[in-house]
Amino acid sequence: MEVTAPSSSPDTLGKRDYVFIVNPNGANGRTGELWRKLRPQLTARLGKDWNVSEKFTSGPQNATQLTREAIHDGAAAVVAVGGDGTLHEVVNGFFDNGELIKSEDSESIGPKTALGLLPMGTGSDFARVFDLNKDINKAIDRLCRGEKKKIDVGRVIYGKERKEKFFINVADLHLSAKAGFFAGMHKQIGNLCYVIGALRGFQGHRNRDFKIRVDGGEWETWSNVTAICVGNSKYFGGGMKITPSADPSSGDLEAVIIRDHRWYNFLVKLHTLYLGSHVRQKNVFSMKVRSIDVAELDNFSNDKYPGTFIQADGEHLGFLDASITSKEFHDLSNIIMAYEECARSSCLTVSGYRHSFCHATALQAPVLDPGASLP
């Protein structure tokens, strides 16, 4: 829906679109309410230079499609309005078949469209690293100032069919992903959903043995793993600083592997998860990685669930394949999960690739002014 005058009006001629993709049901409907209150302010502040348009999502995954359409149409920016789930879907809309998409008139590799964020979800964890989660006006100011930052995205490949998703915040598996799955069912109670999710996650949980390979090196067996969290950024679960050294502009990811933990370990040391000091504890391992592969070693067939839970940006993706054996795993026929830093570049040019093997990802969040030159 066009908020400003129609694009044929003399006022809008030559202007590019700022497309706000709104999940009206985010944060149990609060996103939609807040958006309606903020929209006039945004139109007033941005409308002089841009066509401000809004698109409401019709349901899960729709934000991805809406983003692709906006990029094809040459939007200057696509701004996710909602929580981490909506941001995740918008980020995935920058890609198609694993490749960055570009506007139809774009000559360059990578989109001319930038990514933006108005955090209005339950957890809004990605926004925390920019200190934008507490005050929406701060996020609006940043958007209107046109402040830009280059950021990375990660990629997860999982399951027998080797499905692929990009993530911008944290991807994780096993207990934390199971807790996230249940938390998603209780978003109506706000941040308490993460407590309920954790309690339900612990039911029937047992630590597992996995094969893990870092940066394409040797596979190693890790026994009694409770959770594996890989952060492009620092926070998940409504403010837990799970990967405290991760920096979305660093070019690498932080992998935190938690082993041998029981529910009471978390209970006693819960505050350390919020402080990020858990990484200094016994049985918690942190490392900087470019990629990490994980495969199951033991058989899940007797379990209630088909395998190890995987989530990305708090969105349930599925399960590692329960039937993976070490033989299949060596065949690499059932991989697993791989994170990959995607090369970064300006959203306007092809210069600045950090790695020639990878197409540029032009994700800059929270975005702006695609006309300005990048640092």
Ligand X SMILES: Nc1ncnc2c1ncn2[C@@H]1O[C@H](COP(=O)(O)OP(=O)(O)OP(=O)(O)O)[C@@H](O)[C@H]1O
Active site amino acids: 84
Nearer to ligand X, 139 or 338 (CB): 139
Nearer to ligand X, 12 or 23 (CB): 23
Taking the least distance from each CB to ligand X, the nearer of 82 and 244 is 82
In the Cβ-directed half-sphere of 115, how many Cα atoms lie within 13 Å? 31
**CA atoms of 367 and 210, how far apart (whole Å):** 38
Beta partners for residue 230, in sequence order? 171, 255
- When CB distances to ligand X are compared, the closest residue is 83
Pairing mode, strands 51-56 and 17-22:
parallel
Q: Report yes or no: 295 and 324 within 8 Å, Cβ to Cβ.
A: yes
Tell me the three state secondary structure of residue 232: coil
Rounded alpha-carbon distances, angstroms, from residue 145 to 193, 256, 259, 358 = 34, 35, 44, 31
- Interface residue list for ligand X (CB under 6 A): 23-27, 57-60, 62, 82-86, 89, 121-124, 187, 314-315
b/e code 160-197 from CB counts within 10 Å (16+ = b): beeebbbbbbbbbbbbbbbbbbbbbebbeeeeebbbeb
CB 80, min distance to ligand X, A = 8
Cβ closest to ligand X, residue 17 vs residue 89: 89
Question: Which tokens is 319 given?
Answer: 């399960």
CB of 23 to ligand X, least distance (A): 4
Report which residue type is found at 321. D
